[in-house]
C-alpha cells in the first residue's frame, strides 16, 4: 500500500472518490448478473420446451411403429423379425465368406430372403422355424453356391414355409427347382429325445397346412412331392431315392443319431457337387447336429465343409 493511502487524513479526503469508483464498477457488474440470470431462465425454459417436444415426438413415433411391429412379429414366438443393420451386415459377411461370392451379392440375397420370409409368414399358415439370421442365412447362401441341378430335398419341413421361401430364392438365381419333402406330418413337431411342447402358433402340422403353404411357393411349390414319414423309414427312402439331389436340407430329427442317419443317406442321394445344409449346426440348443456332422466329416465321406452362416453349416459333395 502506498504511504499516501496509509495516511488517515488522505484516506478520509479520498473516501468520496473511492465510493464513486466502487459504484461505477458495481453497477455494470450487477446489471451483468441480472442479464445472466434472465438468460439462464430463458435457456431453461427453452430446454424444457425442447424436451416436451421430443417426448411428444417419441410418443408419436411409438404409436406409428406399433403396426410395423405387428407386421414383423414372429408368429407364435412373441418376438419380432426386426434385425438391426449390423445383424444384416454380419450375416451378409458370413454368406459372402461361405459362398466365396462378393459381399454385394450376399447382401442382396440376405435382404431378398428377409422380404420373402416376412411376406410368407404374413400370408402363410403356421411359422418358419428359426431366428431371422438362421432362416435368411440358409435362404441367401444356397443360390450363391450354384447347385448342380434343381432337385431339392427337404428332410423335416414342419409347415413347409421354408421350402415355400426357398423356391423363389432359387428361381431368382435362375434355378427352376423341383421339390421333394419328407416329414411325418404328425400334428406337432417331433424331436426324439427333446420335449417340444405343443406348437406355439396352435396350427397343426398336417398335409393340408403344408399344401396351403407350398402353394405360396408358386408352381414349383404346388407341384412338390411330399412323402409322409420318417427319413429313416426304408419305404420313405426308397420312394424318394430315385434321383440325385442338387440340394439336401437336413432339418428333421436334430438328435446326433438322427443327423448321422440323414447324412449317411445323403451320401447316397446327393448329386456330384450337390449342397447339403445342416440346419442348427452350432446352435447350443441342438448340440447333436454339430456333433454328428463333425463325426461324419472326420470319416470316409464324399462331403467337404464349405463353412457356416448363422447357425447353418454347408457341405458340398465332391465331384
Ligand X SMILES: C[S@@+](CC[C@H](N)C(=O)[O-])C[C@H]1O[C@@H](n2cnc3c(N)ncnc32)[C@H](O)[C@@H]1O
- Which residue lies nearer to ligand X by CB, 89 or 292? 292
User: What is the closest distance, in whole angstroms, from the C-beta atom of residue 288 to ligand X in the complex?
Assistant: 12
- 169 is a contact residue toward ligand X (CB under 6 A): no
- Greatest Cα pair distance, the chain, in angstroms, is 127
Q: Which stretch binds ligand X (CB under 6 A): 8-16, 17-25, 113-121, 248-256?
A: 248-256
CB of 303 to ligand X, least distance (A): 19
The window from 54-62, 93-101, 157-165, 240-248 that contacts ligand X (CB under 6 A) reads: 157-165
Three cell numbers, residue 29: 457488474
CB of 67 to ligand X, least distance (A): 26
The CB-of-256 to ligand X minimum distance in angstroms stands at 13
In the chain, where do the E strands start and end?
151-155, 178-183, 225-228, 245-250, 270-279, 303-309, 312-317
Quote the distance between the C-alpha of residue 284 and its chain's center. Answer: 17
Taking CB atoms, the residue at the shortest distance from ligand X is 156
CB of 119 to ligand X, least distance (A): 15
Q: How far is the CB of 184 from ligand X (least distance, A)?
A: 5
Indicate the pairing of strand 225-228 with strand 270-279: unpaired
Closest CA to 217 of 299, 293, 124: 124
User: Which of 136, 142, 145, 161 is close enough to bind ligand X by CB under 6 A?
Assistant: 161
| Residue 164 interacts with ligand X (CB under 6 A): yes or no | no
Q: Cα(first)–Cα(last) distance of the chain, in Å? A: 104
By CB under 6 A, tell whether 91 contacts ligand X. Answer: no
How buried is 217 (Cβ within 10 angstroms: 0-12 exposed, 13-18 middle, 19+ buried)? buried
Name the segment binding ligand X (CB under 6 A); options: 34-42, 215-223, 237-245, 247-255.
247-255
Among 101, 227, 231, 290, binds ligand X (CB under 6 A): 231
* 276 touches ligand X by CB under 6 A: no
β-pairing, 178-183 vs 225-228, is: parallel
116-155 residues near ligand X, rule: CB under 6 A:
128-130, 155
Q: Which of 90, 93, 189, 301 binds ligand X (CB under 6 A)?
A: 189
Between the alpha carbon of residue 81 and those of residues 78, 119, 190, the distances in Å are 10, 12, 25
Closer to ligand X by Cβ: residue 161 or 317: 161
Whose grid coordinates read 448329386?
271
Contact 82, 72 (CB under 8 A): yes
* Burial class (CB within 10 angstroms; exposed 0-12, middle 13-18, buried 19+) of 114: buried
The site for ligand X (CB under 6 A) is made up of: 128-130, 155-158, 161-162, 182-184, 186, 189-190, 205, 230-232, 251-253, 258
Amino acid at each position: 500500500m502506498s504511504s499516501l493511502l496509509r495516511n488517515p487524513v488522505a484516506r478520509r479526503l479520498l473516501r468520496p472518490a473511492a465510493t464513486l469508483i466502487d459504484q461505477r464498477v458495481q453497477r455494470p457488474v450487477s446489471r451483468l448478473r441480472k442479464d445472466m440470470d434472465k438468460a439462464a431462465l430463458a435457456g431453461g425454459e427453452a430446454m424444457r420446451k425442447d424436451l416436451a417436444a421430443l417426448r411428444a415426438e417419441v410418443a408419436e413415433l411409438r404409436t406409428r411403429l406399433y403396426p410395423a411391429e405387428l407386421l414383423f412379429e414372429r408368429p407364435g414366438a412373441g418376438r419380432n423379425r426386426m434385425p438391426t443393420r449390423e445383424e444384416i451386415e454380419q450375416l451378409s459377411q458370413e454368406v459372402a465368406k461361405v459362398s466365396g461370392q462378393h459381399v454385394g451379392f450376399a447382401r442382396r440375397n440376405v435382404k431378398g430372403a428377409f422380404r420373402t420370409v416376412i411376406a410368407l409368414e404374413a400370408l402363410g399358415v403356421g411359422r418358419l422355424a428359426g431366428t431371422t439370421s438362421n432362416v435368411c442365412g440358409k435362404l441367401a447362401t444356397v443360390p450363391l453356391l450354384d447347385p448342380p441341378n434343381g432337385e431339392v430335398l427337404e428332410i423335416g419341413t414342419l409347415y413347409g414355409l421354408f421350402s415355400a421361401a426357398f423356391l423363389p430364392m432359387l428361381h431368382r438365381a435362375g434355378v427352376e427347382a423341383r421339390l421333394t419333402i419328407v416329414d411325418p406330418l404328425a400334428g406337432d413337431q417331433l424331436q426324439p429325445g427333446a420335449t417340444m411342447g405343443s406348437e406355439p402358433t396352435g396350427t397343426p402340422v398336417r398335409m393340408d397346412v403344408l399344401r396351403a403353404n407350398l402353394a405360396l411357393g408358386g408352381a414349383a411349390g404346388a407341384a412338390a412331392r411330399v412323402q409322409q414319414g420318417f427319413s429313416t423309414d426304408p419305404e420313405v427312402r426308397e420312394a424318394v431315392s430315385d434321383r440325385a439331389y442338387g440340394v439336401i436340407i437336413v432339418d428333421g430329427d436334430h438328435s446326433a443319431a438322427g443327423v448321422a442317419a440323414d447324412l449317411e443317406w445323403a451320401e447316397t442321394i446327393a448329386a456330384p457337387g450337390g449342397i447339403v445344409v445342416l440346419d442348427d449346426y452350432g446352435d447350443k440348443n441342438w448340440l447333436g447336429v454339430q456333433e454328428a456332422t463333425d463325426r461324419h466329416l472326420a470319416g470316409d465321406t464324399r462331403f467337404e465343409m464349405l463353412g457356416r452362416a448363422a447357425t447353418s453349416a454347408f457341405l458340398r459333395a465332391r465331384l
